[in-house]
Chain A
Amino acid sequence: MTGLAVLRPGPLSLLQDAGRFGWQHLGVSPAGPLDVQAAAWANRLLDNPWGTPLVEIALGGVELESRLDTWVALCGAELDITLDGAPRPNWSRFPLRAGQCLCLGFARSGQRSYLAVAGGFRAGALLGSVATQTREGLGGLHGDGQPLRAGDLLPCAPASRSGATSVPWRFVPDYRAEPRLRVMPGGDAGDFSVAERRRFFAQPWRLSPQSDRMGARLLGEPLRAPARQWSLGVTTGAIQVPPDGQPIVLLADRQTMGGYPILGWVHPLDFGLLAQCPAHRTVRFERVAVEAVQGEMREFYRFFGR
């Protein structure tokens, strides 16, 4: 099999598809891309179906050498993209020829970049998915949950596309702006006092450097949380409030069950804003109704052909 040879893997580059679903009853995390929108655009630029395997690159610093003629697309964090030293645009697709070297600099704004290839990267699925879950040791190129390493080959097939295209500028998010994350209140929100709930929406929260693919940890004036409860199934985007009063937004590598009180859920289309935030950036929350989010999600899925 031919493909793209990994010369420099970057700090955390992970093969991802739409995620590993159908196994949460056994405690298996869904994984998948943190920034669902940027990943969806990268695949769409190449006419790949929803969830085609691509690489999520944290912070950049990646160098790949192509062993074949194909097309790639990059979306997400703003970073220098060069092909044999010549600049290439972000949020765009472009051809890659055998022997050419694709180099990604370090992210200037945003944290995650998505590299898709025409037809997708090929790897053996584990529990129905190639999504890399490092904590659980599942998925990825070798099925063991390891990130990309120097010397790996990202397998793909030769392909051609008709010409360069880019994501229309109005869909390209500005990762420098302070994110306003929309929240569907619910869960155990009723067990928090009215004043505590108000405080959650009124105050700015700082993103902790301890955040990872499992959860975005927020720092601020602590909330007084109600007591723990019997562990129950949780969803991505759930805002948990542990006893220290510092909320955690569960992200793609979340656990399947949790026992901390839940204040509500972040809008799935806002996960990307959170995933693209650097540590110490402030974020704010505002309310949104479940039905409004469902309407937007349906439109989003239809547009991207889920």
Chain B
Amino acid sequence: MRLEPAGADALLIVLAEQPDAGLPLRIATLTDRIHLELGPLLIDLVPGWTTLLLHYDLLRTDHLQLGKRLLPLLEDWHAEPESPRLGRLHELPVWYAGEDLAEVARACALSEAEVIALHSGTEYRVGAIGFAPGFAYLGELDARLALPRRASPRTRVPAGSLAIAERQTAIYPQASPGGWHLLGRCPRRLFDARAEPPCPLAVGDRVRFCAIDEAAFRAEGGVP
């Protein structure tokens, strides 16, 4: 574990060298505690796969002072290898009819039904949220579905697209460019700046996907 200044008004906490399955929830727990204890000094707390970046208010503190205040919290956290929480579970409906489903099945030497069964049969953990508002990186995808990103990214992926790449899966909350393989579509909105909260998912949460058909997708407000 180490603390490093990240520019004039941010402090990076490196919590591990490699991510592991339990780390996102532990980092989420740490993030909550730091927010509770030191919130007024902080502007943003951004959990990463193995890190936590604190954007702080330079008029109230600096990286040295903040480091001192963080030490006891970090020691307590370090002494607690398991998170006391489970992480909230979200069940997200997916119409598995993505443009790349057939290609993914071929590349993985599986049937389309097997791809769907493997993808929806795994419980995922939100490891990080970034790239775009509400874009949650979910891990860990079954090794039998692991593929590198597409050679050339699509210029536009429709909102709600469920996609995979390497050992990760994610839903694109807005239409955007994207280089992942599209397996299906989720009819739910995963980011809405006017909603409270704007994004239902948080780092450390658990996600399960359940397969639905086109009629159910439309009934939930999905636009094919």
Q: Is the CB of A27 within 8 A of B133?
A: yes
Check: A198 CB closer than 8 A to any chain B CB. Answer: no
Q: For A306, what are the chain B residues with a Cβ–Cβ distance below 8 Å?
A: 59
Q: A235-B53, A257-B130 are in contact. Are A22 and B44 (CB under 8 A)?
A: yes
The 7 closest A-B pairs by CB, nearest first: A233-B53, A233-B46, A257-B130, A232-B48, A265-B7, A230-B49, A24-B44
Q: Is the CB of B7 within 8 A of A235?
A: yes
Check: A127 CB closer than 8 A to any chain B CB. Answer: yes
What are 9 A-B pairs with beta-carbon distances under 8 A?
A26-B191, A136-B132, A186-B4, A230-B50, A231-B128, A231-B130, A233-B12, A233-B48, A235-B55
Which residues, 175 to 222 on B, are CB-close (under 8 Å) to A? Answer: 191, 193-194, 198-199, 202-203
Check: B45 CB closer than 8 A to any chain A CB. Answer: yes
Q: How far is the CB of B11 from chain A (nearest CB, A)?
A: 10
Check: A238 CB closer than 8 A to any chain B CB. Answer: yes
Which residues, 3 to 34 on B, are CB-close (under 8 Å) to A? Answer: 4-10, 12, 18-19, 31
Q: For B49, what are the chain A residues with a Cβ–Cβ distance below 8 Å?
A: 230-232
Q: For B45, what are the chain A residues with a Cβ–Cβ distance below 8 Å?
A: 24-25
Q: Is the CB of A27 within 8 A of B48?
A: no
Check: A187 CB closer than 8 A to any chain B CB. Answer: yes
Give the interface of B toward A (CB within 8 A).
4-10, 12, 18-19, 31, 43-53, 55, 58-59, 62-63, 128-135, 137, 174, 191, 193-194, 198-199, 202-203
Q: Is the CB of B58 within 8 A of A301?
A: yes
Q: Is the CB of A234 within 8 A of B8?
A: no
Q: Is the CB of B198 within 8 A of A127?
A: yes
Segment among A70-78, A205-213, A292-300 that sits at the interface with chain B: A292-300
Which residues, 4 to 59 on A, are CB-close (under 8 Å) to B? Answer: 21-29
Q: For A230, what are the chain B residues with a Cβ–Cβ distance below 8 Å?
A: 18-19, 48-51
How many A residues touch B, CB cutoff 8 Å? 41
Q: Is the CB of A25 within 8 A of B44?
A: yes
Which residues, 206 to 263 on A, are CB-close (under 8 Å) to B? Answer: 230-238, 255-257
Give the interface of A toward B (CB within 8 A).
21-29, 126-127, 136-138, 143, 184, 186-187, 230-238, 255-257, 265, 267-268, 290, 293-294, 297-298, 301-302, 306
Q: Is the CB of B46 within 8 A of A265?
A: no
* Nearest neighbor of B42 in chain A, beta-carbon distance: A22
Q: For A28, what are the chain B residues with a Cβ–Cβ distance below 8 Å?
A: 133, 193, 198
* Nearest neighbor of B198 in chain A, beta-carbon distance: A26
Q: Is the CB of B5 within 8 A of A234?
A: no
B8 in complex: contacting residue of A21, A143, A184, A233, CB < 8 Å? A184
- Distance between Cα atoms of A235 and B56 in the complex (Å): 11
Q: For B137, what are the chain A residues with a Cβ–Cβ distance below 8 Å?
A: 231
- Distance between Cα atoms of A117 and B8 in the complex (Å): 30
A136 in complex: contacting residue of B43, B44, B63, B133, CB < 8 Å? B133
Q: Is the CB of A297 within 8 A of B8?
A: yes
A257 in complex: contacting residue of B19, B50, B128, CB < 8 Å? B128
Q: For B9, what are the chain A residues with a Cβ–Cβ distance below 8 Å?
A: 235, 268, 294, 297
B58 in complex: contacting residue of A23, A29, A187, A297, CB < 8 Å? A297
- Distance between Cα atoms of A184 and B63 in the complex (Å): 14
- Distance between Cα atoms of A292 and B43 in the complex (Å): 21
Q: Is the CB of A22 within 8 A of B43?
A: yes
Q: For B4, what are the chain A residues with a Cβ–Cβ distance below 8 Å?
A: 186-187
Q: Is the CB of B43 within 8 A of A231?
A: no
Q: For B134, what are the chain A residues with a Cβ–Cβ distance below 8 Å?
A: 26-27
- Distance between Cα atoms of A267 and B47 in the complex (Å): 24
- Distance between Cα atoms of A236 and B12 in the complex (Å): 14
- Distance between Cα atoms of A162 and B156 in the complex (Å): 52
- Distance between Cα atoms of A209 and B53 in the complex (Å): 31
- Distance between Cα atoms of A297 and B31 in the complex (Å): 26
Q: For B7, what are the chain A residues with a Cβ–Cβ distance below 8 Å?
A: 184, 186, 235-238, 265, 268, 290
Q: Is the CB of B48 within 8 A of A298?
A: no
